[in-house]
Structure 1
Amino acid sequence: MLEELEIHDLGPIQEARITPAKGMTAITGETGAGKSMLLSAIRLISGAPAQSRRVRPGATQAWAQGVFMVDADNPAAIQAEEAGVDTNADDGELFLSRTIPVSGRSRSVLSGHSVPRSVLEDIAQHLVTIHGQADQLRIASAARQRDLLDAYAEDSTQLNAYHDAWQALKAVDERLDTLEHQQADARQRADYLRESIERINQADPQPGEDEELKAKRSRIENAASIQQGVTSALAALDASQFDTGSDGMGATDLVRHAAQSLRSIRMDGDDTYDRLAQRLDSIETDLVDVAFTLSRQLDHDDDEGDLDAINARIHELGELTRRWGPSLADVIAWRDKAVFEVEDLDASPEKLDQLRAQRSELASQALQAARELSAVRAEAAGELSRRVTAELAELAMAGASLDVRVQPRANTEGDADAAVLDAHGMDDIMFAFTPFPGSDALPMGSSASGGELSRLMLALELTVAERRGSAADMTFIFDEVDAGVGGKAAAELGRRLAKLARTSQVIVVTHLAQVASWAQEQYVVSKQPAQSGASDEPGEVSVVTTVTRVDGEQRIQEIARMLSGSESGTSLDHARELLATSVQ
């Protein structure tokens, strides 16, 4: 619901603020006074394109802001949270504002956060519905008509069921398309995989084999220096392993001798030397182990293998890692995965048959869901047509009618493969309007004037509002709804707007007293001479446009002006009578 609309320097309006009633608010005033600027302001905060020529002459920028009260579950509140705005922090209020400079780009702001204009547009569609001459054209689109019918039919269960069936069908179609268009590539891929698997299996690589071979090659290539170094180290550790013809002692013998020497020391109450001897025993053990390992190394050095054979194997393994690596583990993993892929590719014909059978079943399910949706739509269309036509008769359009047509598309292929379906079902939906008896029924938008379309939209909104029960979060704005209407029909038009205002907020721009008298709040847009000194040019008479809330005697005077163009005693009495008989 719109709580407040504030405008600065927009068109002829220097400054204005209106606080619409929860029910119905009337905007009145002389022709050309600037009532359209209020609609322009609402369109701007709803994300409409900005035009710098709308800035009031002499001002640097125009600004408009609307304050809306929204419930937490309103789609507008949910979208605002996605944009970073917490409506709960503002007591459920949303602030939509636009700034239009004389030059440069406009700025869109949502509750203090700068946002793209599209964000305001997306949010406003859940808050405001404008029915003006330009806005009526949108209902001419088949998508809008389908959405309106679905909303009236309350067919969300059937819509969701069809949507799920359609998505499942499309998913299988995509898989089928992929397989059917990749058969040649699949055969080439399978041949390549088989050849690669065979080559890897012939080489039979083992994890880490290449690194072991490189280490073995390094030992062979450095065998002489290894032999010399190991022999020298062994001689230093245990000279007894070599027949050198000398009585020299190795490091092991020296450490053992040192330990024995320490144990020969006897001191009562002091085991210092015994503990040192034990440490030397541990060192001797380590030295013996090192000597044993080195001696085994000398034994293996004579059995390293053929260097040429090792190099050939390293080269063979290198070819594998170059193509399917970078490591032998990667090569082996690639081969194992390729085995499964070949199995899948070999099974492609069978998979195609399975998918085709699955698609046929899903197409039947989607077609059945579409038929159920179409049946609900057709029933709702008949009821909507009758009720809207009845409303039109009450809005001074006797003989006019609306025919909501739900036409299932014919299946020209003669089978059940969902050829008639699209993302929204199997129906072509059209709102055909007959403005007067004898006229052809033509699509909405091409068969009615702006005023007729406004009243048609009012009839639609009234019918839908009665069906849904309440739409307190939505604000409906009507412009030109009273074009070509007068007398008793005008009073009935006001009554119908007031009826819609019982469940939704309604703002109507009108020149008919019979319509304005039904409003809870009334604002008058008027042109007045500016205060002395306000003119920019010497001798020029400046005029400003004001927006004023009228009540009591002021409202009686405005209603009288609308009735007869004067405030005579008779017109004032008529205005009082009209307000008294307009039951709120």
Structure 2
Amino acid sequence: MRPRVEEVRIQGLGVIDEAVLELSPGFTVVTGETGAGKTMVVTGLGLLFGGRADPSRIRPGAERATVEGTLVVEPGGRVAQQVEDIGGEIEDGTLIISRTVSAEGRSRAWLGGRSVPVGTLTYLADDLVAVHGQMDQQRLLQPARQRAALDRYAGEELVKPLRAYTQAYRRHKQVTAQLEELTTRARERAQEADLLRFGLEEIEKVAPKAGEDVELREEEERLSHADTLRTAATAAHEALLGDPMDTSGGNHDVVSLLGRARAAVEGVLDHDPSLAGIAERLAEAGYLISDVATDLAAYAESIEADPVRLAVVQERRAALSGLMRKYGDSAAAVLQWAERAAARLAELEGDDTRIEELRQEEAELTAKLGELAGELTRVRQAAAERFGRAVTEELTALAMPHARVVVHLTQAGEFGPDGVDEVELRMSAHPAAPPLPLHKGASGGELSRVMLAIEVVFAGADPVPTFVFDEVDAGVGGKAAVEVGRRLARLARTAQVIVVTHLPQVAAFADQHLVVEKSGDGSVVRSGVVALDHEGRVRELSRMLAGLEDSELGKAHAEELLALAAADK
């Protein structure tokens, strides 16, 4: 499903007080009397898609002009994704776009219910609409658009070499960037290698082990407080088992006291057997305390003041602390740094070999890019010739028999992401005139016809879903006007087409006919938009043909035009 504009509501713009345009998926034409505000329809669409806001266009007496559009978009498609990326909402495939311009010139825009910069609408419009009018910047006048459109016109023949070129170009950029880094940062990389070597040598001299810093800290703490620890262990041992040098017989140690308590309980077990459990627990407590006392004695025996070992530990800790200040907050972290540094140093030391490999690959890629770019140029040149002939034939039918359009290809001095070709559409108005860029080779009225011819030829290749034409029929009449209508209808087979016209021959080919009606209320002129049925179309075409909507001759001619258009479809 291609995106399309379903409805546009315009308020306070030019002579339009309020108007609603219900647009056909195919070909919609907008007609009306001079001064009724037909051009405001195109202006409104331009505003909706990020066009320049001109406060002078606001209806006199109105505070602001407002344009709101309802678009049908494909869920999950490119446009839907862009809207979702900015936080906008799409409901059931319907997108609402809104734009206001105040009388003071302030402009605001909303996309999917979210306030956005006006530039967002302009960016989105690239994938939605092409407006062709004398006051609009033409999409296809942009060189990048012209090259992309020519590539799509070239078709499958270009796909394979362009894909191969793109892959080679990306790799060439990667190789070039790596080479530049290796060669331009040689001094920095040499300095980095020296620092890494110094750090690795420093760590190698100390040779730390994971967890060593924690073990040494604990050992230093024990050695520094050996006398205190031994005194504490001895005091605890005496409290539990008593002092063996004490001959007073006081027996105030814990084991003796537990023994006395156990003996007291066991002495009365005959009177109450339930005390047996307490006696057993007292016995267990005595055994446990005796074990703890034994461990305390062994610990006190093991603690010795060793100034020599303390000095060794302190010296080792100092060496580790020096490493940890530079390379990590623990011995394990220092070892991890050393591992990373060794890997990085190996990479740096392999630079010379890597540089030579990259230079060789760069040369091979450059040669390959040259071959592929040449193939792209050949295919594009052939497509350009076909395209130029096709557009020139279209212009002949559009009352520009002496005009000629060519696609001018030049080669840039360096490889680009799409080759070396720079594409520019040029036109000569008559055989003696040199081909000039489109905006210089065609007048304002001619340019719309040129663009119509280009869009018809590009139809199906250029993926813009909606085309808006204003003044496409300037200076055209008779048979040429019929051809303009026929080509617009042909374009509408693959896209939505909206045309503002004063030619009945063009209007007859439309799928949907809208008329801008003007009414006067004193000195105030208002315009609205009405969709016409068949009878209404006959009256409007009769007015456009004869100036009188009720002319029988005009009505007959209008019916003939409609029949001709219907048969052509």
Per the normalisation by structure 1, the TM-score is 0.87
Q: Is the contact between residue 136 and residue 453 of structure 1 (CA under 8 Å) also seen in structure 2?
A: no
SS of aligned partner of 2:531: strand
Is 1:149 aligned to 2:143, yes or no?
no
Q: Is the contact between residue 216 and residue 313 of structure 2 (CA under 8 Å) also seen in structure 1?
A: yes
Is 1:447 aligned to 2:441, yes or no?
yes
2:241 maps to which of 229, 232, 238? 238
Report the equivalent of 1:461.
455
Report the equivalent of 1:437.
431
Is 1:582 aligned to 2:565, yes or no?
yes
SS of aligned partner of 1:286: helix
Report the equivalent of 1:279.
281
Q: Is the contact between residue 223 and residue 305 of structure 2 (CA under 8 Å) also seen in structure 1?
A: no
Is 1:502 aligned to 2:505, yes or no?
no
Amino acid across the alignment from 2:146? Q
Report the equivalent of 1:96.
97
Amino acid across the alignment from 2:526? V
Describe the superposition over 1:178-224 as per-residue Cα deviations: whole angstroms up to 9, x where unpaired. Answer: 11122111211221222222222222233333343333333344344
1:358 maps to which of 353, 358, 361? 361
In the aligned structure 1, how far is the partner of 2:197 from the partner of 2:273?
A: 76
In the aligned structure 1, how far is the partner of 2:68 from the partner of 2:74?
A: 19
In the aligned structure 1, how far is the partner of 2:164 from the partner of 2:279?
A: 89
In the aligned structure 2, how far is the partner of 1:315 from the partner of 1:359?
A: 51
Q: Is the contact between residue 139 and residue 444 of structure 1 (CA under 8 Å) also seen in structure 2?
A: no
Structure 1 residues 126 and 553: CA distance shift in structure 2, 3 A? same
Amino acid across the alignment from 1:490? A
Q: Is the contact between residue 25 and residue 506 of structure 1 (CA under 8 Å) also seen in structure 2?
A: yes
Amino acid across the alignment from 1:280? L
Cα offset for 1:271? Answer: 5.2
Cα offset for 1:248? Answer: 4.9
Amino acid across the alignment from 1:46? F
Counterparts in 2 of 1:44-123, with a 5 A limit?
44-72=47-75, 74-85=77-88, 87=90, 89-90=91-92, 92-103=93-104, 105-123=106-124
In the aligned structure 2, how far is the partner of 1:467 from the partner of 1:234?
A: 97
In the aligned structure 2, how far is the partner of 1:336 from the partner of 1:467?
A: 56
In the comparison of the two structures, how many residue pairs are matched?
A: 559
Q: Is the contact between residue 53 and residue 105 of structure 2 (CA under 8 Å) also seen in structure 1?
A: no
In the aligned structure 1, how far is the partner of 2:133 from the partner of 2:424?
A: 21
Structure 1 residues 466 and 226: CA distance shift in structure 2, 3 A? closer
1:393 maps to which of 373, 396, 402? 396
Cα offset for 1:258? Answer: 4.2
Report the equivalent of 1:556.
538
Q: Is the contact between residue 227 and residue 305 of structure 2 (CA under 8 Å) also seen in structure 1?
A: no
Counterparts in 2 of 1:287-366, with a 5 A limit?
287-306=289-308, 307-366=310-369
Cα offset for 1:439? Answer: 1.3
Q: Is the contact between residue 136 and residue 454 of structure 1 (CA under 8 Å) also seen in structure 2?
A: no
Amino acid across the alignment from 1:285? Y
Q: Is the contact between residue 15 and residue 59 of structure 2 (CA under 8 Å) also seen in structure 1?
A: yes
Cα offset for 1:8? Answer: 0.8
Cα offset for 1:152? Answer: 1.4
SS of aligned partner of 1:445: helix
Describe the superposition over 1:50-69 as per-residue Cα deviations: whole angstroms up to 9, x where unpaired. Answer: 23332211112211112222
Report the equivalent of 2:421.
427
1:186 maps to which of 189, 204, 212? 189
Cα offset for 1:350? Answer: 1.2
> Which stretch of structure 1 is more off in the superposition, 160-169 or 480-489?
160-169
Amino acid across the alignment from 1:581? L
Q: Is the contact between residue 473 and residue 484 of structure 2 (CA under 8 Å) also seen in structure 1?
A: yes
Cα offset for 1:74? Answer: 4.0
In the aligned structure 2, how far is the partner of 1:4 from the partner of 1:288?
A: 97
Describe the superposition over 1:499-547 as per-residue Cα deviations: whole angstroms up to 9, x where unpaired. Answer: 22233222211122222222233333344311xxxx6xxxxx2222333
Q: Is the contact between residue 131 and residue 138 of structure 2 (CA under 8 Å) also seen in structure 1?
A: no
Q: Is the contact between residue 269 and residue 276 of structure 2 (CA under 8 Å) also seen in structure 1?
A: no
In the aligned structure 2, how far is the partner of 1:502 from the partner of 1:253?
A: 111
In the aligned structure 1, how far is the partner of 2:372 from the partner of 2:266?
A: 100
Describe the superposition over 1:74-132 as per-residue Cα deviations: whole angstroms up to 9, x where unpaired. Answer: 42233233344554x33x22222212222474332234333333333333333322111
Counterparts in 2 of 1:363-378, with a 5 A limit?
363-378=366-381
Cα offset for 1:348? Answer: 1.4
Structure 1 residues 312 and 18: CA distance shift in structure 2, 3 A? same
Percentage of identical aligned residues: 38
In the aligned structure 1, how far is the partner of 2:322 from the partner of 2:266?
A: 63
Q: Is the contact between residue 238 and residue 251 of structure 1 (CA under 8 Å) also seen in structure 2?
A: yes
Structure 1 residues 556 and 272: CA distance shift in structure 2, 3 A? same
Amino acid across the alignment from 1:128? V
Structure 1 residues 345 and 271: CA distance shift in structure 2, 3 A? farther
Q: Is the contact between residue 132 and residue 138 of structure 2 (CA under 8 Å) also seen in structure 1?
A: no
Structure 1 residues 316 and 467: CA distance shift in structure 2, 3 A? closer
> Which stretch of structure 1 is more off in the superposition, 33-42 or 310-319?
310-319
Structure 1 residues 214 and 573: CA distance shift in structure 2, 3 A? closer
Per the normalisation by structure 2, the TM-score is 0.89
Report the equivalent of 1:167.
170
Task: Report the aligned-residue RMSD.
Answer: 2.8
Cα offset for 1:573? Answer: 4.2
In the aligned structure 1, how far is the partner of 2:393 from the partner of 2:286?
A: 114
SS of aligned partner of 1:129: strand
Q: Is the contact between residue 176 and residue 356 of structure 1 (CA under 8 Å) also seen in structure 2?
A: yes
Cα offset for 1:9? Answer: 0.7
SS of aligned partner of 1:178: helix
Amino acid across the alignment from 1:293? D
Amino acid across the alignment from 2:176? D
Describe the superposition over 1:403-436 as per-residue Cα deviations: whole angstroms up to 9, x where unpaired. Answer: 12334457xxxxxxxxx31122121222221222
2:209 maps to which of 206, 209, 220? 206
Q: Is the contact between residue 397 and residue 436 of structure 1 (CA under 8 Å) also seen in structure 2?
A: no
Q: Is the contact between residue 226 and residue 305 of structure 2 (CA under 8 Å) also seen in structure 1?
A: no
SS of aligned partner of 1:426: strand
Q: Is the contact between residue 168 and residue 365 of structure 2 (CA under 8 Å) also seen in structure 1?
A: yes
Q: Is the contact between residue 529 and residue 543 of structure 1 (CA under 8 Å) also seen in structure 2?
A: yes
2:511 maps to which of 489, 503, 520? 520
Amino acid across the alignment from 1:503? T
